[in-house]
Structure 1
Amino acid sequence: MAHLLNLTTFTDKRGNLTVIEKAIPFDIKRIFYIYGVDDSIRGGHRHHQTIQAAICLKGSCTISNNDGKNTENFELDSPAKCLIIDPKDWHQMFNFTPDAILMVLASEYYDEQDYIFENYKA
């Protein structure tokens, strides 16, 4: 099941510095980011192999994950929160604030054959 990591963040009078190195439990092969989202729902799939790490760099959004047994919603509202999404997690992203920037780090390069669009049966 998907789970949150709290990324190490150093804060002083100059601002914040959040560290990703050694926090992501896989080698990163692909990085993309989603922004300028209206009231649409993004995602709506799971994977055969790809593990993902989602970080909302600015603003906030909600990610709903269903692993076939449990469904859980995660509010990403800080760049120090990182949601690890396992391949089995059918996920959707929604409730994007107008300024939201969601960065996703992936364990695999894009492969259309890796996507499973069907949700689990209720």
Structure 2
Amino acid sequence: MKLEQARIINLPKVEDPRGNLTFIEESKHIPFDIKRVYYLYDVPGGESRGGHANTKTAQLIIAVSGSFDVIVDNGLMKQRFHLNRSYFGLYIPTYLWRELDNFSSSSVCLVLASDFYSPDDYIRDYNEFLKVVRCDSQSTFS
């Protein structure tokens, strides 16, 4: 999986003196239909979340409040994204390892997912992830 497929998506921002509004329409602003929405909050200082790759589910990660970092890893290279604006979303396709850390106090991480939750969709062991992506990249070039 190419690391550059993980990218920041600018979401619509309607500015108003009474407060701004951002909206997301599936398959228009993001490259998938939304099947699941979840959010992380009250993450204690120094803790990390994520630590997995998905085999079927793409995600859009948004810092709706506060800030945090997302480290995306394709098995060869890593890239760190700092999310701190509610009108930016980080698109993460399948087969990319992700970890979230550096949470500010009162941060809220919103995740839009392209599929329903299934434990079989997750690779939670990093060494297993490396085996899968290296095997896949070798078959791609054979």
- Whether these two folds match at TM > 0.5 is yes
TM-score, scaled to structure 2: 0.81
**Equivalent AA in structure 2 for residue 4 of structure 1:** I
| Structure with higher helix content | 2
1:114 to 95, 112, 121: 121
1:16-35, aligned counterparts within 5 Å? 16-21=20-25, 22-35=28-41
State the shift of 1:69 in Å. 2.9
Counterpart of 2:108 in structure 1 is 101
Unaligned runs of 5+ in 1: none
Question: Which of the pair has the greater relative contact order for Cα pairs under 8 Å at 6+ separation?
Answer: 1
| Structure with higher strand content | 1
Counterpart of 1:64 in structure 2 is 71
Q: How many pairs were matched up?
A: 121
1:15-94, aligned counterparts within 5 Å? 15-21=19-25, 22-38=28-44, 39-94=46-101
TM-score, scaled to structure 1: 0.94
Q: Where does structure 1 differ by over 3 angstroms across 4 or more consecutive aligned residues?
A: none
Identity %: 40
Q: CA RMSD in A?
A: 1.2
Is structure 2 residue 19 aligned with structure 1 residue 9? no
Counterpart of 2:140 in structure 1 is none
State the shift of 1:10 in Å. 1.3
Q: Max radius of gyration: which structure?
A: 2
